[in-house]
Each structure stands twice: as structure tokens, then as C-alpha cells.
Amino acid sequence: MLVLSPQPHHGAAGRPQCPPVGALKGKTIGLRRDKFWLSWDWITDEWARLLEADGAETLIWRAPVGKGDQAMAEGGEEYAKFLSSIDVAISGLGNCGSCTLWAIHDAVGALDSGLPTVAVTTEHFESLGRTLAAQRGHDSLRVKLMPYPLEGRPEDEVRQIARDNYENLLTVMGASR
């Protein structure tokens, strides 16, 4: 008798490990945002400033929120252009079910394009994010965890959380100065 588990396999998926970023200087780091989490805007603002201070350029792309085939097709074309203009992708924020799904979807798209990539989720959505990446064949997706909840905290507190988590972001990315 063969028993199949409904849980995803957590072993090697046959794809190469997510490449490390290496030296930041001279690289263009793409920060993927959506339209849902003001706290994520503040975090990416802080990280962009710190990345630029470390010699990288940054480019922020806001994922479209739209229904229907045309909006989805246009968003995919915009994302492809964004990916072609960056060297490294940071995709977030996994902070709810659908947001995690899309942040991981876009992170996997960047990985499939050959880019060093990190997905950012809050601690509460880590398991979902890793499961979604594994289902797409990327068990080795680099995931940066942030505290939960972020939304609803004062702006100055969220920005300090971003600054406090910057060094760990670099570690997760495999980045050096």
C-alpha cells in the first residue's frame, strides 16, 4: 500500500540554491512593494537608503492590484521590465495570505530569471511563504523574517525595526559591503 501525504515535500527540489548577492557596490537592488502595507513602504524606504549608503542603486516597483486579465497581463509585463533592470530582487511583504502568495510568486519569478532574490515575510506567515516557494520548486528561497504585526505600529517604530533588521537582511541575502 502506498500512502501519499498532502503536505509538501521539504527536501531538495532539484533547482539550484538561490545565489548570494555578493558585493553590493554597483548593483541595482529592486524592492517590490504592493499597495497594501504602509509599514512595508516605510521599511523599503529605510532599506533603500541604507543600501544606497553601501554603494548600491535601488529601484522600487509597486505591484499592481487589479482584477481581470488585462490588469494581470500588464502587471506581468511591468514586472518583467523591472526584473530586466535590476541585479537583485527583494520581494515583500508576506503579511497576510494573499499578500504572501503574491510576494512569493514575484520572488520565484525573480529567481527563475536568475536573480539573487530574498522574500520578506512577517514571522506569522513564514510557513506559508516557505510552503508556497517549495510548491514552485524553490525550497532554497532566501526568506527574511520581520516581526508580526508591523502594520498599525507608529511610523518611527517601524522605521527603527527596518534599521535594526538591515544587517540581518544583508546576511540573508548573502551580501557584502
What confidence score (pLDDT) does residue 17 get? 76
What CA–CA distances, in Å, run from 171 to 89, 111, 166? 15, 18, 9
* pLDDT tens-digit readout, 21-39: 999 999 999 999 998 899 9
Contact of 61 with 79, CB cutoff 8 Å: yes
What confidence score (pLDDT) does residue 16 get? 63
What confidence score (pLDDT) does residue 13 get? 46
* pLDDT tens-digit readout, 44-67: 999 999 999 999 999 999 998 765
d(CA 100, CA 90): 13
pTM: 0.89
- pLDDT by 10s per residue, the chain, length 177: 666 555 555 444 456 678 999 999 999 999 999 988 999 999 999 999 999 999 999 999 999 876 556 665 567 889 999 999 999 999 999 999 999 999 999 999 999 999 999 999 999 999 999 999 999 999 999 999 999 999 999 999 999 999 999 999 999 999 999
Domains and CATH numbers, the chain: 27-176 (3.40.50.10140)
Which secondary structure element, helix H or strand E, spans residue 99, and what is its range?
A: helix 97-112
What confidence score (pLDDT) does residue 12 get? 47
What confidence score (pLDDT) does residue 65 get? 72
Q: Which of 148, 45, 142 is nearest to 95 (CA)?
A: 148
Tally of CA atoms within 13 A in the half-sphere of 64 that contains its CB? 15
d(CA 30, CA 177): 17
Which secondary structure element, helix H or strand E, spans residue 155, and what is its range?
A: helix 155-173
d(CA 72, CA 87): 24
Contact of 95 with 121, CB cutoff 8 Å: yes
Backbone angles phi, psi at 122, to 5 degrees: -75, 160
Backbone angles phi, psi at 21, to 5 degrees: -75, -40
Which secondary structure element, helix H or strand E, spans residue 62, and what is its range?
A: strand 57-62
